[in-house]
Amino acid sequence: MTVYAPALGGLGVLGTGSYLPERVVSNETVAAPAGVSAEWIERRTGIVERRYAADHEAASDLAAAAAVRALDDAGARPEDLAWIIVATSTPDHPQPATAAFLQHRLGAHGAAAFDVNAVCAGFVAALHTGTRLLASDGDGGGRRLALVVGTEVYSRIIDPGDRRTAPLFGDGAGAVVVGPVREGRGFLGTGMRTDGRLHELIGVHAGGSRLPASEKTVARGDHWFRMRGREVREFVERELPREVAGTLAAFGVAAADVDHFVPHQANGEMLRGVVGHLGLTSARVHLPVDRHGNTGAASIPLALDHARRGGEPRDGELVLMAGFGGGMTLGTTLLRWGR
């Protein structure tokens, strides 16, 4: 069952930023090890290329680059931050939180920092968390801003020989600064749901407390990311339209009034097929997945920043974001754009 939470406190997005690693990886590069062709990848996924992090780059490095750009876009400083929330399923280390490394890199030592892991729905979860924390802060000690970042380095956990995952995933980070906006603008609300009965559809089996990493788990490939692609696709095609319709109804918004739809960039061809069932007849659908692939929790803020650099959304326009991924978890949020 979906939990719907109305927004509090007149909060919205003040700035966006993103970062893609320099290394461009073509379909031709990933096709041969996966036993497919470059044409097959583009036809099945809509992806032309993706980015891989350099050897020295971890999730916090990508996050820092995106965060600096978001702070600059918002006209904010690290010392203005009360909260730093990082959504990632590929952290620098199992512990401590990647957000702690990001806080240190930014010099935002007055901010509380922690991670959220809802896999590809993580950014929506982190965004909701950040807005609720700010709303409960009162004046936030004069620091009424939160930094919310999605960052992933999937290239480190992908089996190059797995055709279900290797062609899809890439690395990147996206960030937003959340703070007070004028009346009539900002977040309307969020809807989130998890169906834990389907937890086995997506995941990395080894490396945690249930199955610690060992020579045996490595030999079996249990440290690789695995996904039951057909069942995941069926889940998205079945559940995403229901989730979008439920969120719009919960917050009194007609589907035709949505101006921008920013989904998790899972698979371009799958999304193009699903969008027609959402009823978003007036919405611009943002799908830059062809140039960076599936970047997990980073994909929504990456797509949002891509739209911003293209001059969208405009003041007063209604934005719907939708994440879906391992768990299986779905998250949607509505935002009336304006600073």
| 311-327 tens-digit pLDDT | 999 999 999 999 999 99
- Cβ–Cβ < 8 Å for 281, 258: no
Identify the H or E element spanning 147.
strand 145-153
pLDDT tens digits along 281-303 = 999 999 999 999 999 999 999 99
Catalytically annotated residue among 27, 117, 267, 294: 294
Catalytically annotated residue among 27, 120, 128, 292: 120
Catalytic annotation present for 56: no
pLDDT band at 10 (very low <50, low <70, confident <90, very high): very high
Cα angle for residues 168, 296, 131 (degrees, 5° grid) = 160
Model pLDDT, residue 137: 73
pLDDT tens digits along 44-68 = 999 999 999 999 999 999 999 999 9
153 pLDDT above the threshold of 50? yes
What is the CATH number that goes with domain 8-181? 3.40.47.10
Identify the DSSP state of 29: H
Catalytic annotation present for 93: no
pLDDT band at 136 (very low <50, low <70, confident <90, very high): confident
Q: Is residue 225 helix, strand or coil?
A: strand
pLDDT band at 180 (very low <50, low <70, confident <90, very high): very high
Over residues 269-274, the mean pLDDT reads: 94
Model pLDDT, residue 143: 56
pLDDT tens digits along 186-224 = 999 999 999 999 999 999 999 999 999 999 999 999 999
Rounded (10°) CA dihedral 74, 77, 81, 84: 80
Catalytically annotated residue among 128, 223, 260, 264: 264
Model pLDDT, residue 204: 95
pLDDT band at 339 (very low <50, low <70, confident <90, very high): confident
140 pLDDT above the threshold of 70? no
Strand-pair category, 284-285 with 329-336: unpaired
Structure tokens at 155: 């290239």
- Cβ–Cβ < 8 Å for 106, 175: no
Euclidean distance between CA atoms 95 and 207, whole angstroms = 12
pLDDT tens digits along 241-265 = 999 999 999 999 999 999 999 999 9
pLDDT averaged over every residue in the chain: 95
Catalytic annotation present for 120: yes
Q: Could you give the residue range(s) of every CATH 3.40.47.10 domain in the chain?
A: 8-181, 187-336
What top-level class would CATH report for the domain 187-336? alpha beta
Model pLDDT, residue 245: 97
Burial (CB count within 10 angstroms: exposed 0-12, middle 13-18, buried 19+), residue 184: exposed
Q: Which of 15, 73, 14, 5 lies closest to 334 in space, CA to CA?
A: 5
> Does 97 or 143 have the greater pLDDT score?
97
Rounded (10°) CA dihedral 232, 238, 241, 244: -60
